[in-house]
Amino acid sequence: MEPEDKGPRSSWLVCAACAYPLVRVDELIEEKFECRKDVTWVYELDVLELSTWCYSATNAHDHRFDVVRVLPTGLNRSLAVEGKPTAEFSWFPGFAWAMAHCCHCNRHLGWAFYPEASEEHSGPERSEQPAEPAPPSDLAFFGLVLTKMRESRLHDSEVDEIFTRARSTQQSPNRQEVSSMLRSLRQALRQVPADALLFSYFLSQRREDTSSRESMQSTETTLEDRDRRDPEAQPEQADAEA
């Protein structure tokens, strides 16, 4: 029996965690782009059999990521953006960034880049005040981490079915509520210093230890009170067992 013909296939980058389609081959940005040379190394790589400029970039915490630029067409279809864009330590001069996640599993995949509001972001006439990030509608491109994706050949009909099913799921109030809660939690955790989180953890552990000791002491006191009230209870129990 011949396999069912599902129609033409396309090359995709899919989420390495959940295999959700993220970037179609024609959404890759092949051209070389201006970047911060002190923290970014640019190189060519075959991505989906297409020679593409990639960026090995180091962030402010000394973590290195290999990033490929893609068109913003995947916004809300494959990728969700979280938080207000910031230009702090941006790898691409004149562009502010915000976190980008997989629409399906919510895994962090890279960053969304927006042009800063000021068009003159270089030169002697530049203002001393930092430019304000552009509104989310002005998304210029995504920078996605290559190691968080893998290549796949998918039938076009299969991809359409996946996106249709995802849209119906994302419209569910429960799904929207959970996603909103997760985003709020991540934002709150990023604003809490690491030492404060450690202190909170050790404090909770100490409370658990104290509660456990108090429970044991309470149990011992109860047994002692019972023995004092009924001194023959324990010998009788021993005789019964014998």
pLDDT, position 151: 98
d(CA 67, CA 134): 22
CATH code assigned at 107? 2.170.150.20
Q: Do the Cβ atoms of 98 and 80 come closer than 8 Å?
A: no
Query: What tens digit of pLDDT does each residue of 52-81 get?
Result: 999 999 999 999 999 999 999 999 999 999
Domain count, the chain: 1
Residue 80 lies in a domain: yes
Query: What tens digit of pLDDT does each residue of 28-46 get?
Result: 999 999 999 999 999 999 9
Predicted structure pTM score = 0.66
Question: Could you list the residue range(s) of the whole structural domain that residue 144 is in?
Answer: 9-119+131-174
Question: What average pLDDT does range 216-224 have in this prediction?
Answer: 65
Residues whose CB falls within 8 Å of the CB of residue 108, separated by 6 or more in sequence, listed in order: 99, 100, 101, 148
What tokens were used for 143?
A: 């920078």
Residue 189 lies in a domain: no
Residue 235: helix, strand or coil by DSSP? helix
Query: What tens digit of pLDDT does each residue of 152-175 get?
Result: 999 999 999 999 999 887 665 555
Residue 223 lies in a domain: no
Quote the mean pLDDT of the chain. 80
